[in-house]
Amino acid sequence: MVYYANHLRYFERARTEYLRACGISPSALLEKGMLFVVKKVEVEYLAPARYDDLLVVETEVAAISKASVTFEQTIGKDGLPNRIARGTMALVLVDGKGKPSRIPEEFKAALIGGR
């Protein structure tokens, strides 16, 4: 069986790829002195995953505020709708000092366009 905490890694990788698909790369954020950090995570485990299962992670933006974005994600196996987990993750954009920072309008537009 897949260790439960590994699901968080799958969610994180999918969010990173989602941001990249929206044209927001981690390196672009770092160049601007910003970084998304996880503020809150809620995960519901629905069924077990086993090693060598083909998993699919769906990611969508549920909400955007001035400094945060909330993602809703699901993990399925053998194609969806065989869901094994679902989660909600709130991320906050912070500056180099760890203080919340306003999400640039071009990033908001890209995130909304990715829905």
Per-residue pLDDT band at 25 (split at 50, 70, 90): confident
Q: Residue 28: which H helix or E strand, with range?
A: helix 26-31
In whole angstroms, give the CA distance from residue 79 to residue 76: 6
Predicted confidence (pLDDT) at residue 80 exceeds the cutoff of 70:
no
81: preceding bond cis by omega (within 30 degrees): yes
Ranges of each domain in the chain: 6-113
Q: Per-residue b/e over 36-54, b at no fewer than 16 CB within 10 Å?
A: beeeeeebeeeeebeeebe
pLDDT of res. 40: 98
Model confidence at 115: pLDDT above 60: no
Distance CA 11, CA 45 (A): 13
* CATH code linked to domain 6-113: 3.10.129.10
Q: What is the dihedral of CA 97, 101, 104, 110, to 10 degrees?
A: 100
